Amino acid sequence: MLLRGRSRLVRHLDPQKSQHVFFSVFPALSSSKNVIPTIPVPELQDSSTIRTFQPQSSRPPSSRKQIFLEPRETFNRNFNSRIEDIKSSGLENPIESKSMTFIESEVDIDEASPERLIGIIDKFKPAVAEVNRMRFRSIQQELEKAFSQQQLASYLEQNYSKVEFANSRRSTRRVSKKKLAQRIINDIWGIKVNSKLTETSDLITKKTVPLSDLDIFLIRSNRRLLHWLSSNGCRIKLVKDKKELEISGTTSQVSNVEVNLIEFLRQSEKQELNLTDIKHLFQEKYGRFSLEKVAGYTDVFFKDVGNDIYEVHSQTPHQVERLKRLLLWSLNYNKHSNEVITLPEEPEKKQLFPFKDELSLSWNNRRQPLFTLKDCGSSRSETNHRLLSDLQRYDDANMNIDAEIPNKENDSEVDTIIKDEDAPILSQNKINDIYDQLYDFDYRKNLISLETTSSPVFTISLGNILFEGEQQETKSAMSKLFPTPPELSETTKFKFNSNVQLVADKALSLPIHSTSSTSGSDVLDDIFRDERYKNSVQITFLPSLFVEDNKDIKMEDLTKFQPVELWVDLKHNMTPDMDTLQLVTVEGENTNYVSLPSFKSDLKVSCQLSGNLLQEKGELAQDFELSIDDILNSQADRYTRFKSQPGLGGFLSRSKLDFQEETSISPYIDLNINGDIVRYRFISMEFRKKLSFDFNGREVQYNMVEGGNLGGRKVEVLFVGDMALDASGEERKRFGQLMNDAVSFVSEL
């Protein structure tokens, strides 16, 4: 038998044949490997040593005294102890007792109990009901060689006492071993001799292995597992409906597959998660709790053991960490934010259109009915059309003496139309209401916050508000094709998508910020040629709501902690520039979503307060008093400012932030928040390429955001407000100017 890679040969007495069989034992297969490993299964590795002959005299070896040992004295006890460890490990594997056939042959049969003796002899039973005459004799001879006459007779008597064998009961006294073996094969096992079977038909063994739901899940989660197991020449078929694994091949091939499959299932990860608090927070925020959506993005098997405790199984520990991450991401429980929506007048007269660009959304916002609000039949569109028709009468082709001169009535109509066009999209009262809502951070009084925060920062992001449709209980194809739109109100659930093509195209046509000579198509050439763009990474963390992570903090207090973001710029070689690393808290974020159905884009108006978790080192007041040794032994500021957060160093050492190669992020970080050590969980990471444009003297940020398979890929266009409060008290006026600039940009689309 030709096997791929190196293998270790295990010798055992095959109950199906009359000779000793050597078969290869491959190690358990891992999903991260694309070749069969060459290290044997540890439990099957023979650690005993073979002593080589070292002649100590001049006499030839044949003349030296030889000692012959009984098989029991040469028994490999180390191997047997390893097998016993496997059996005593408490593995709940339905195929284990049927897979380790060769292991029982190592047991001392003379000392086996009657109950265990039955199990040992039963393992010599072939998997087929009919054999040819040669195979029948082979099985008979194996029974004669492996067991004594008393053991075979005891096996028959114990089975004859059962009801199903009452009609076959015969005396076992003074019966030869040959006759006893034949009775076992015929009476107990029901094996018949079929003369039509050829000798080669016995070379192929077919075996059906029952599987549990967990076994099927783990096998299907590793797509290449069955291919690897069948690389030794056997055929394997997973019958999901019957929960069986069909294996066809030689006896050694089938045994090989079973041993490796057991080892693969043994290496699976198993953890228990207490989701009591998380379930309560899900129901509080969304009114329901379900693991179905999270399970679709993880290779994790859930088993509810009661009291909101779940037993999770996965192929690797990484999948369990991914599960925890997605649970917190989907929950997104954040008391440091406040969101409201400003709907247009008479929203019921507008139309809702399905949204289909799911790749620009994060994973938790996909696979659900979403709609955009548009005013397709507005009087504004009709007015523009009438104005264009009237102005076309004054083009060059119509400017002649015979042309009809518009009368005073027509002139007044045109003036009225233009006057309507100049009417503000948002009234000053509406802008004042938005400002009051954004500047209200009174809810922070009952939350955990840093003592020192930055000044409020206003930003406006362009995009579309996506309203959530009604979730259909029936999953029919018709309901998915034509989802039911929602009834709009201030309580309607919604999302926001910044990926609007017209907005991105308009932004790229603007001049570069602080540069008036570059615009239009030259921008695309300059983005990747000059240093006018900046690459950065944003990593988001949320307080871990799992009981085992923050045992010393009550859940009521844990939900009061703020989100944390890590920002760092990237060098030209796509590695982090540690001098630019910032660890900031989102102390408060108020957002007002302004719906503008008559335009191509809506507005996401935000005001954010942030805090700095890395204490900056102040300049030394008396540098001249430092000695040379003190100066040489002093640390740079970029290292000393990390001392306030010792957990940051551990997070960076466990992570690999190299964006030219494979990037890995540690699943958690321990942070010092007002003296409390809180474990935060990694939620998401976004790679950003930023370029600043100029619109009427205001900075407009164009961000290409890559969030991976989970975060989505999108474009963000941001209007940035002032970074500090105006001492003259004209903050409201400056906010109004920011709103007018954004509305003016949208009206030009």
- 684-739 pLDDT, tens digit each: 999 999 999 999 889 999 999 999 889 999 999 999 886 555 545 678 888 999 99
**pLDDT (average), residues 291-295:** 86
Least reliable range by pLDDT among 16-20, 196-200, 262-266, 702-706: 16-20
Token pair for 700: 């407009």
Highest mean pLDDT among 40-44, 384-388, 432-436, 563-567: 563-567
- Nearest CA to 639 out of 610, 616, 663 is that of 616
- Those residues whose C-beta lies under 8 Å from the C-beta of residue 286, and which sit 6 or more positions away, are none
Is the CB of residue 581 less than 8 Å from the CB of residue 314? no
More confident residue, 123 or 307: 307
* Res 461 pLDDT > 90: yes
The answer to whether residues 600 and 462 touch, using CB atoms and an 8 Å cutoff, is: no
Between residues 388 and 128, which one has the greater pLDDT? 128
CA-to-CA distance for 560 and 130, rounded, in angstroms?
A: 71
| Whole-number pLDDT of residue 471 | 64
pLDDT digits (tens, 9 = 90+) for 347-390: 888 888 888 888 889 998 888 889 999 887 654 444 444 455 55
Residue 76 clears pLDDT 90, i.e. is over it: no
Pairwise pLDDT comparison (686 vs 43), residue with the higher score: 686
Check if the beta carbon of residue 434 is closer than 8 Å to that of residue 463: no
Q: Which residues of 228-249 are buried (b: 16+ CB within 10 A; e: fewer)?
A: bbbebebebebeeeeebbebbb
Look at 475 and 245; give whichever has higher pLDDT: 245
CA–CA distance, 629 with 350 (Å, rounded to integer) = 74
Q: Is residue 97 very low, low, confident or very high in pLDDT (cuts 50, 70, 90)?
A: very low
Using 50, 70 and 90 to split pLDDT, how confident is the model at 475? low
Q: Among 376-385, 435-444, 551-560, which is the least confidently predicted range?
A: 376-385
3-state secondary structure 404-471: CCCCHHHHHHHHHHHHHHCCCCCCHHHHHHHHHHHCCCHHHHHCCCCCCCCCCEEEEEEEEEEEECCC
Q: H-helix or E-strand containing 249?
A: strand 244-249
pLDDT in tens, 487-497: 888 888 999 99
- Sequence letter at residue 327: L
Buried b / exposed e over 604-623, threshold 16 CB at 10 Å, is bbbbbbbbbbbeeeeeeeee
Q: Are 123 and 14 in contact (CB under 8 A)?
A: no
Terminal Cα-to-Cα distance of the chain (whole angstroms): 71
Q: Which of 5-14, 89-98, 260-269 holds the top average pLDDT?
A: 260-269
| Cα distance between residue 569 and residue 153, in whole Å | 81
Q: Please state the separation of Cα 383 from the chain's center in Å.
A: 51
Tell me which H or E stretch contains 254: helix 251-266
- C-alpha distances in Å from residue 235, one per residue of 145, 205, 733: 32, 10, 77
DSSP for 668-737 reads EEEEEETTEEEEEEEEEEEEEEEEEEEETTEEEEEEEEE-HHHH-EEEEEEEE--SS--TTS-HHHHHHH
pLDDT at 20: 42
Alpha helices in 52-113 (DSSP H): 77-87, 96-99, 101-104
Residue 283: pLDDT band with limits 50, 70, 90? very high
- pLDDT higher for 566 or 625? 566
**675 in the Ramachandran plot: left (φ > 0), alpha (ψ -120 to 50) or beta?**
left
Torsion of the alpha carbons at 724, 727, 732 and 733, rounded to the nearest 10: -100
Q: CA-to-CA distance for 698 and 514, rounded, in angstroms?
A: 10
Q: Indicate the burial class of 454 (C-beta count within 10 angstroms; 0-12, 13-18, 19 or more).
A: middle
| pLDDT at site 405 | 47
Cα separation, 623 vs 628, whole angstroms: 11
Mean pLDDT of all residues in the chain? 77
Confidence of residue 562 (pLDDT cuts 50, 70, 90): very high
The larger pLDDT score, comparing residue 240 to residue 724, is at 240
* pLDDT given for residue 601 in this prediction: 93
| CA separation for the pair 577, 570 (Å, rounded) | 5
- In this prediction, residue 296 carries a pLDDT of 84
pLDDT value at position 606? 95
How far apart are the C-alpha atoms of 300 and 294, rounded to whole Å?
A: 9
Q: What is the 3-state secondary structure (H, E, C) of 367-418?
A: CCCEEEEECCCCHHHHHHHHHHHHHHHHCCCCCCCCCCCCCHHHHHHHHHHH
**Lowest mean pLDDT: which of 224-233, 249-258, 618-627, 695-704?**
618-627
Q: Contact, 665 vs 707, CB < 8 A? A: no
Window from 82-86, 186-190, 637-641 with minimum mean pLDDT: 82-86
- Is residue 64 predicted with pLDDT exceeding 70? no
226-235, 580-589, 739-748: least confidently modelled range: 226-235
The edge-to-edge listing of strands for the beta sheet with 300-306 is 269-274, 309-314, 300-306
Q: Assess whether pLDDT exceeds 60 at residue 99.
A: no
Percentage above 90 pLDDT, the chain = 31
Q: What is the pLDDT of residue 522?
A: 52
What is the pLDDT, as a whole number, of residue 403?
A: 46
d(CA 167, CA 746): 92
pLDDT digits (tens, 9 = 90+) for 523-542: 555 554 445 688 999 999 99
pLDDT at 644: 86
How many C-beta atoms lie closer than 10 Å to residue 253's C-beta?
Answer: 24
CB 305 within 8 A of CB 132: no
Instruction: Please say whether the beta carbons of 336 and 586 come within 8 A.
Output: yes
pLDDT: is 69 or 461 the higher one? 461
Q: Which of 558, 26, 588 is nearest to 263 (CA)?
A: 26
Does residue 4 or residue 680 have the better pLDDT? 680
Q: Residue 622 has what pLDDT?
A: 40
**Angle 276-286/317-331 helices, nearest 10 degrees?**
30
pTM over cut 0.75? no
What token pair was written down for 637? Answer: 């500021």
- The 8-class DSSP code of residue 641 comes to G
3-state secondary structure of 612: strand
> Predicted confidence band at 620 (pLDDT cuts at 50, 70, 90)?
very low
Burial class (CB in 10 A: 0-12, 13-18, 19+), 552: exposed
Beta strands 8-13 and 269-274: pairing type? unpaired
- 80: pLDDT confidence band, cut at 50, 70 and 90? low
pLDDT at 504 over 70: yes
Q: Is the pLDDT score of 544 beyond 80? A: yes
| pLDDT bucket at 42, cuts 50 / 70 / 90 | low
Please report the pLDDT score of residue 643 as a whole number: 85
Domains of the chain listed by start with CATH number: 8-47+67-266 (no CATH), 269-331 (3.30.1370), 428-617+635-747 (3.20.100)
- 386 vs 231, residue with greater confidence: 231
